[in-house]
C-alpha cells in the first residue's frame, strides 16, 4: 500500500473506519478536533454515522447505547472532555460493553492550555470515573503506531468487553508523519450475541440480553466486581506491551518514558552515548497494564545507578515506576507540563545531574 | 530559473499541504536575496505548527511578521490582526499571506475582500500529492474550487510540494512534479515553482524540471529533532513564547 502523509488526528479517524467502526460520536475540542472534522466527511462516504453530540456527557452515553447494541463505536476528545465522559465510561465498564475512547491530551488542570501534555496519566490508568474498573490504556509514540493501536483496540475491547483508551499527547494528534495502513479488519464483534440487545429473534436465542450496571443485591454486585477484577488480571497476563531501547548495553541510567516524550528521550540517549554516558529506555506501549516486570528486571542491571520517569506530567507515572522498581534503585522524576515539550538537551542535562548525584554514593 | 514573484502573494491549499513551510521558506529565501519581505499569519484554523512558531527566526532575518498580539499567540481563537488589511493595501516588495487549510481556512480571505479591491494578488495553491485528498487531478481540482468559493478569489498558480517529510526521496519529487504538470496542463494555470528538501539538493538535478525550485529547510519540526542539525534559524518549541 502507498505511503501517505497524514496528521495524527486524521489517521486516527481513518484507522477507525478501516477497523470496521461505522459509528462515531464526538464533541469538538482542541487539539483533537480534526478527528471529528475528518470523520464528518468520511463517515457518509462509507455509510457510517457521524454525530456531533450536544456535549461530551451526551456523547459518552451515545457510545454506551451503540456499544450495547453490538456496534463498533469510538469517540475522541481531549482532557476536559474526557472528564465529562468519565461517568459514562464507568457505566460502560460496569455493563461490560466494548468501546474505544481516544484522549489527545492538552495541558491541565481545569481549562489548562491547548499545547501537548501527558497530564491525564492517572485519570486514564487509575479510574477517572467512579467504581472498581480499569481501562486497557495504549500509548502511541508515532502516527503509524496510533493507527495500529486504534485498529487493534476494537478487537481488544470486544475480547474483554471493556472500554479501551488510546492516550496520546497533543503532538500525536497534531503532527504529520508518513503512514501505511494495515489491512482492513474484516471482522465484526464475534461475541456480540453474548451481550448485545440485538433482538432474541435476530440472534436465534431464548436468552434475554440485559445491559446494566445496577446490581442492588450486595452479593451479586460483589460477584460482578470479582468478575471484572478477573478480567483486569487477565489483561496484566496477556496485554502488556513495551519497547526496549539500548537495554543490551551496560547502561548507567534507565529511563521510563512514553509517547512523544519517549522520542525526545531517544534523541537524548543517542547524544549522551557520544559523550560516553550509557542510558537505556523502557517505553511502555500499554500504561495499564503497566510493564512492571520489565522495568524491575531492567532496574536490576549491575551497572545501573538510577531510574528516571520522564513525562509531560508532574510525576504521575513516577508512582508506577517506583512501584515497579520496588526499592532496588533510586527513582527520580523529570518533566514539564505547560505545553513546552522538554528538549533533548534538557533531558540530557537532567540525566547527567542525577547520574552525578548517584555515582558519588 | 528563479522564482518571479512580487507584490501580494497568497499561499493557500488543503489542510497539511505544507503551506506554512512553503511560506516561511519563501520569505526567508527572498529576504536573503535582498528583497523587502513581509509575511502575515492568517491561519485561524490550526492550533499547532503555524507561521507564528517561526516568528522569532523570521524577525531576526529582517522579515516583517504580522501576527495576533503576543498574549494571544497560544489561544485557539480566530484572531485576525488589524495590521493585515494595512499590509494588503500598502504592500511593498514581496508580501506573503499564509492562509489556513481547506475552504475553512480560506474563508478569512473573503472578509478581507475590501482590502483586495484594485489589487491583483497571486493566489497559489500548494499541493502535496502524498496527502490523501490531493493524490489525483480530481482531488486537486476539488480543493481548488472549494477554496475559490470560500475566498471569493481565483487561484492563479500552483506550488508542487511533494514530500513525505524525512522519508522524501527523489522518486517522490519526480512523481509529484508529474502530477502537478498534468494539473497545470489541464487548468492552463502555471506551476509557479516546486519544492525540494534541502537534504536532496545535490541528489536531484535541477535541469530535470521546467520550473523554478525552492529548496526547503524544514522549520516546523518536532521536539525530538532539535539537536544536531545546523540550520539557518531555530525551529519551533525552542522558545518560551
- Give ipTM to 2 decimals: 0.85
Is the pLDDT at B215 greater than 70? The verdict is: yes
Q: Is the Cβ of B178 closer than 8 Å to some Cβ of chain A? A: no
Q: Is the Cβ of A41 closer than 8 Å to some Cβ of chain B? A: no
Identify all chain A residues contacting B222, using CB atoms and an 8 Å cutoff. 171, 175, 260, 263
Q: State the average pLDDT over residues B136-143.
A: 96
Walk me through the domains of chain A, giving residue ranges and CATH numbers: 4-238 (3.40.50.970), 242-360 (3.40.50.920)
Of A14, A31, A260, which is closest to B47 when you measure between CB atoms? A31
Question: A344–B74: do the CB atoms touch at under 8 Å?
Answer: no
> Does B235 reside within a domain?
no
Question: A3–B130: do the CB atoms touch at under 8 Å?
Answer: yes
Q: Categorize the per-residue pLDDT at B228 as very low, low, confident or very high, splitting at 50, 70 and 90.
A: very low
Is the pLDDT at B55 greater than 90? The verdict is: no
> Rounded CA gap, A284 and A282, in Å?
6
CA distance B238 to chain A (A): 8
> Does B88 reside within a domain?
yes
pLDDT of residue B234: 31
Question: B223–A264: do the CB atoms touch at under 8 Å?
Answer: yes
Q: What is the pLDDT of residues A222-266, one digit of tens each?
A: 999 999 999 999 999 999 999 999 999 999 999 999 999 999 999
> Does B187 reside within a domain?
yes
> Does B238 reside within a domain?
no
Identify all chain B residues contacting A118, using CB atoms and an 8 Å cutoff. none
> Rounded CA gap, A112 and A312, in Å?
14
**Which segment of A169-183, B53-67, B169-183, B207-221 scores lowest on mean pLDDT?**
B53-67
Percent of chain A with pLDDT over 70: 99
Grid cell for residue A349: 542535562
**Chain A / chain B CB contacts < 8 angstroms:** 82
Is the pLDDT at B239 greater than 50? The verdict is: no
Element (H, E) at B42: strand B37-42
> Does B12 reside within a domain?
yes
Identify all chain A residues contacting B228, using CB atoms and an 8 Å cutoff. 267, 271
Which residue, among B150, B5, B8, has the nearest Cα to B89 in the 3D structure?
B8
Considering only residues B108 and A261, tell me which one the structure prediction assigns the higher pLDDT: A261
Question: B16–A176: do the CB atoms touch at under 8 Å?
Answer: yes
Is the pLDDT at A326 greater than 50? The verdict is: yes
| CATH label of the domain that carries residue B183 | 3.40.50.300
Q: Categorize the per-residue pLDDT at A361 as very low, low, confident or very high, splitting at 50, 70 and 90.
A: low
Cis peptide before A109 (omega within 30 of 0): yes
Which residue on chain B is closest to A347 by alpha carbon?
B224
Is the pLDDT at B236 greater than 70? The verdict is: no
Is the pLDDT at B1 greater than 50? The verdict is: yes
> Rounded CA gap, A359 and B89, in Å?
65
pLDDT of residue B230: 37
Across chain B, mean pLDDT equals 86
Identify the domain containing residue B118 by its residue range.
7-225
Sign of CA dihedral B238, B100, B24, B37: negative
> Rounded CA gap, B205 and B194, in Å?
13
DSSP single-letter state for residue A30: T
> Does B233 reside within a domain?
no
Which residue on chain B is closest to A274 by alpha carbon?
B228
pLDDT of residue B241: 26
Q: Is the Cβ of A176 closer than 8 Å to some Cβ of chain B? A: yes
Across chain A, mean pLDDT equals 96
Q: What is the pLDDT of residues A295-307, one digit of tens each?
A: 999 999 999 999 9
Q: Is the Cβ of A115 closer than 8 Å to some Cβ of chain B? A: yes
**Secondary structure of chain B: what % helix, strand, coil (to 5)?**
40, 20, 40
Is the pLDDT at A221 greater than 50? The verdict is: yes
Q: Is the Cβ of B237 closer than 8 Å to some Cβ of chain A? A: yes
Question: A7–B47: do the CB atoms touch at under 8 Å?
Answer: no
Q: What is the pLDDT of residues A28-54, one digit of tens each?
A: 999 999 999 999 999 999 999 999 999
Count of structural domains, chain B: 1
CB B204 within 8 A of CB B186: no
Amino acid at each position: 500500500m502507498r505511503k501517505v502523509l497524514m496528521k495524527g488526528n486524521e489517521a486516527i479517524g481513518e484507522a477507525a473506519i478501516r477497523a470496521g467502526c461505522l459509528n462515531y460520536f464526538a464533541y469538538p475540542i482542541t487539539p483533537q478536533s480534526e478527528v471529528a472534522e475528518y470523520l464528518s466527511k468520511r463517515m457518509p462516504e462509507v455509510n457510517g454515522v457521524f454525530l456531533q453530540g450536544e456535549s461530551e456527557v451526551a456523547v459518552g452515553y451515545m457510545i454506551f447505547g451503540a456499544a450495547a447494541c453490538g456496534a463498533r463505536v469510538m469517540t475522541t476528545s481531549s482532557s476536559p472532555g474526557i472528564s465529562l465522559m468519565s461517568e459514562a465510561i464507568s457505566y460502560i465498564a460496569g455493563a461490560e460493553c466494548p468501546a474505544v475512547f481516544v484522549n489527545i491530551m492538552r495541558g491541565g488542570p481545569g481549562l489548562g492550555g491547548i499545547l501537548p501534555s501527558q497530564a491525564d496519566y492517572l485519570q486514564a490508568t487509575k479510574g477517572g470515573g467512579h467504581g472498581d474498573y480499569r481501562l486497557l490504556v495504549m500509548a502511541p509514540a508515532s502516527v503509524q503506531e496510533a493507527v495500529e493501536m486504534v485498529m487493534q483496540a476494537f478487537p481488544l475491547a470486544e475480547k474483554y468487553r471493556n472500554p479501551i483508551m488510546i492516550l496520546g499527547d497533543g503532538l500525536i494528534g497534531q503532527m504529520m508523519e508518513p503512514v501505511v495502513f494495515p489491512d482492513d479488519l474484516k471482522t465484526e464483534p464475534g461475541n456480540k450475541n453474548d451481550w448485545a440487545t440485538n433482538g432474541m429473534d435476530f440472534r436465534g436465542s431464548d436468552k434475554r440480553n440485559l445491559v446494566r450496571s445496577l446490581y442492588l443485591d450486595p452479593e451479586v454486585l460483589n460477584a460482578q466486581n470479582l468478575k471484572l477484577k478477573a478480567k483486569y488480571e487477565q489483561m496484566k497476563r496477556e496485554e502488556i506491551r513495551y519497547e526496549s531501547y539500548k537495554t543490551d548495553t551496560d547502561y548507567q541510567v534507565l529511563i521510563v518514558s512514553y509517547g512523544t516524550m519517549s522520542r525526545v528521550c531517544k534523541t537524548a540517549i543517542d547524544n549522551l552515548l557520544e559523550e560516553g554516558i550509557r542510558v537505556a529506555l523502557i517505553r511502555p506501549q500499554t500504561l495499564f497494564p503497566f510493564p512492571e516486570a520489565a522495568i524491575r528486571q531492567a532496574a536490576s542491571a549491575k551497572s545501573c545507578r538510577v531510574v528516571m520517569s520522564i513525562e509531560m506530567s508532574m510525576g504521575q507515572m513516577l508512582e508506577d515506576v517506583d512501584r515497579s522498581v520496588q526499592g532496588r534503585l533510586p527513582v527520580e522524576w523529570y518533566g514539564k507540563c505547560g505545553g513546552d515539550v522538554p528538549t533533548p538537551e534538557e533531558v540530557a542535562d537532567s540525566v547527567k545531574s542525577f547520574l552525578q548525584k548517584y555515582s558519588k554514593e | 530559473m528563479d522564482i518571479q514573484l512580487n507584490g501580494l502573494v497568497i499561499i493557500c491549499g488543503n489542510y497539511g499541504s505544507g503551506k506554512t513551510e512553503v511560506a516561511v521558506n519563501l520569505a526567508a529565501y527572498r529576504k536573503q536575496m535582498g528583497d523587502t519581505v513581509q509575511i502575515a499569519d492568517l491561519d485561524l484554523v490550526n492550533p499547532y505548527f503555524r507561521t507564528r512558531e517561526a516568528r522569532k527566526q523570521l524577525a531576526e532575518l529582517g522579515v516583517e511578521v504580522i501576527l495576533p498580539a503576543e498574549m494571544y499567540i497560544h489561544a485557539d481563537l480566530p484572531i485576525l490582526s488589524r495590521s493585515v488589511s494595512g499590509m494588503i493595501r500598502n504592500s511593498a516588495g514581496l508580501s506573503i499571506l499564509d492562509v489556513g487549510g481547506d475552504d475553512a481556512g480560506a474563508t478569512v480571505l473573503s472578509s478581507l475582500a475590501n482590502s483586495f479591491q484594485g489589487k491583483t494578488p497571486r493566489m497559489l495553491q500548494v499541493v502535496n500529492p502524498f496527502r490523501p485528498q490531493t493524490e489525483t487531478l480530481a482531488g486537486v481540482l476539488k480543493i481548488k474550487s472549494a477554496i475559490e468559493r470560500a475566498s471569493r478569489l481565483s487561484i492563479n498558480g500552483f506550488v508542487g510540494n511533494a514530500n513525505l517529510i524525512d522519508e522524501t526521496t527523489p522518486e517522490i519529487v519526480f512523481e509529484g512534479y508529474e502530477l502537478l504538470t498534468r494539473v497545470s496542463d489541464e487548468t492552463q494555470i502555471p506551476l509557479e515553482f516546486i519544492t525540494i528538501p534541502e537534504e536532496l539538493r545535490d541528489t536531484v538535478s535541477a535541469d530535470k524540471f521546467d520550473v523554478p525550485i525552492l529548496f526547503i529547510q524544514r522549520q516546523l519540526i518536532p521536539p525530538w529533532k532539535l539537536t544536531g542539525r545546523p540550520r539557518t534559524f531555530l525551529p519551533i518549541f525552542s522558545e518560551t513564547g
